[in-house]
Amino acid sequence: MFVEPFETTLFSFRKELLDALLESGHDIFLCIKKTERINNEYNSRVKEIVDVDLDLKSKSVFKNIRVKNIYKKTISRIKPDLIISYTIKPNIYCGLYA
């Protein structure tokens, strides 16, 4: 399971790793804000794209609880072997439920 806040970080820094994992036959779930570029590039290649609108600078308790609950439901539903995330909020939220 890849957890990314923005499509730019996925395409700029993680694309090679993601493509290599897909080519080796792994089932990949993306937790990212759905955009046209994400859908065009990965919709048919990954198992599922979970739409998460994560604002890394948000201090809103309600927004953060909503995002945390999305991660909790996703992790409990798919039970991933590995969660790859690089930013602090996804690391903390996903680490609570992994």
Q: Which residues have C-beta within 8 Å of that of residue 35, sequence separation ≥ 6?
A: 7
Q: Is the pTM of this model over 0.95?
A: no
pLDDT number for residue 59? 83
- The answer on pLDDT for 9 being more than 90 is no
Q: How many domains does the chain have?
A: 1
Query: Mean pLDDT throughout 5-26?
Result: 91
pLDDT number for residue 90? 87
For residue 53, give its domain range: 2-97
Provide DSSP, 60-74.
-HHHHHHHHHHHHHH
- The answer on pLDDT for 29 being more than 90 is yes
Query: Mean pLDDT throughout 54-67?
Result: 86
